[in-house]
Amino acid sequence: MDRSTLVADTLGRGFARLTFPAPLEEQFLQDGAAQRLLLIQIAGVGSVVFFAGVVLADLFMIPDRVGLAIALRAGVYGPLCLAGLWFFSRFSLPRMVEWAVAGGGLMAAGISLFLSLNSQAPQALAHLVILNVVVIYATMIGRFWPMLVMCLLIASGHGYAVIAKGDVFSGLGMATTLLLLSTIVFTLYGNYTLEHSDRKVYLLDLQENALQFELTEANEALARSVRTDPLTGLANRRHFDDFMTQVWAHSQAQHTSMALMLIDIDHFKRYNDQRGHPAGDRCLCDVSHVLAGTLRKSGDLVARWGGEEFAVVMGNASLDMARSTAERVVEAVRSAALPHGASSTAPVVTVSIGVAAMTPWPGVSPQTLIQQADAALYRAKALGRNQAVAAEEEGGALNRARA
């Protein structure tokens, strides 16, 4: 099952237990790890400060254990909590850090329980109300399942303390018990609701991102299909025309030379007549691969001009550069050694190339360069094919006329 299907299936089935299928659960924890760690770090430091301030409550409620309270709250809880925050900032353990929050809450509750049990002050039992603060603070931060375990253990500890104090049925004992149980129920309900909402939003975001990605890919594929020749994979005539116009305008603005090559497969009709059109299509593909592999300059465009003809637009290129590249293409196609028994030029597939280059001038259109390259191609065929001929060589270059 791919990720998109898994997300949709999870949204459809629901996640009442606040757990995704294993791959999604792992991704959920990893994606939210940084944000969760920052929240826990801020809350952890805040709990150290707040818990140290609880000594004021200890002073009024269990004055006989104030010294011990200071030692436990400032000397044990604070350093251990800060050490835990440092540890989790160094090691990425998103699942463990959630249980560490519950561990911190249990440590804070355990200290308060210990102080209450060891105090002989009249308000020792009332001191247990601090457990409510611990529950509220921790459940605002932690995930549901660690918080559920923490709350059950705190409730058990509270029950033991009430029994140990012998105040199970006293008004104060009943009041602190009901208050704690009410706090646990309401805070866990809120915690569950918030986490369920967070998880649903996360899945919806994943689904939206997946749909957006698929839409982008579909648009890109459509754009490629509109501008790509389906047989050879090269740019099509439409793409060529647009690219030619862009390079022409850029060269005109920068006063730089550009070049064009028109390439024709020699005796291709004979190849088709002898081998059939499927073989002819394979030949076109093979030649296009040779062209794409030989013409590696970034900014050049190789396009299928039509039929067995190809075109290459070269930006910022002189006639000499284009002629040298064209000769390299002729040699590369010949060296590919594609058999052509019907050719009167060579026993293998060959190409003829017409090359032209010019600096675009105002009032001159790209069609002028195309006509020069086409005339040079005609000349290459007339001279025996399997060669490259530049427009300047056959006396038609507008560059030379302007010079």
Query: What's the pLDDT band for 383 if we cut at 50, 70, 90?
Result: very high
Contact in structure between 85 and 45 (CB atoms under 8 Å) = yes
pLDDT in tens, 189-222: 999 999 999 999 999 999 999 888 888 888 877 7
d(CA 250, CA 299): 12
Q: How would you label 107-116 residue by residue, b for 16+ Cβ within 10 Å and e otherwise? A: bbbbbbbbbb
pLDDT in tens, 134-185: 999 999 999 999 999 999 999 999 999 999 988 877 888 899 999 999 999 9
Assigned token pair, 23: 């791959």
Percent of the chain predicted with pLDDT > 90: 84
Predicted local confidence at residue 298, as pLDDT: 73
Length of the chain counted residue by residue: 403
Helix (H, G, I), strand (E, B), or coil: what is residue 300?
Answer: coil
pLDDT in tens, 324-347: 999 999 999 999 999 999 999 999
Instruction: Summarize the confidence of residues 240-259 as an average pLDDT.
Output: 93
- Can you give the pTM of this predicted structure? 0.65
Q: How would you label 249-259 residue by residue, b for 16+ Cβ within 10 Å and e otherwise? A: eebbeeeebbb
pLDDT value at 84 more than 50: yes
Q: Among 25, 26, 98, 308, which one carries the catalytic annotation?
A: 308
Instruction: Note if 214 is an active site residue.
Output: no
Residues 6+ apart with CB under 8 A from 256: 250, 315, 316, 359
225 burial class (0-12, 13-18, 19+ CB within 10 angstroms)? exposed
CB count in 10 Å sphere of residue 158: 24
Higher pLDDT, 2 or 148: 148
Predicted local confidence at residue 50, as pLDDT: 93
Higher pLDDT, 67 or 2: 67
pLDDT in tens, 95-139: 999 999 999 999 999 999 999 999 999 999 999 999 999 999 999
- Supply φ then ψ for residue 204, to 5 degrees: -65, -35
Predicted local confidence at residue 296, as pLDDT: 66
Instruction: Summarize the confidence of residues 280-299 as an average pLDDT.
Output: 89
pLDDT value at 402 more than 70: no
Question: Average pLDDT over the chain, rounded to whole?
Answer: 91
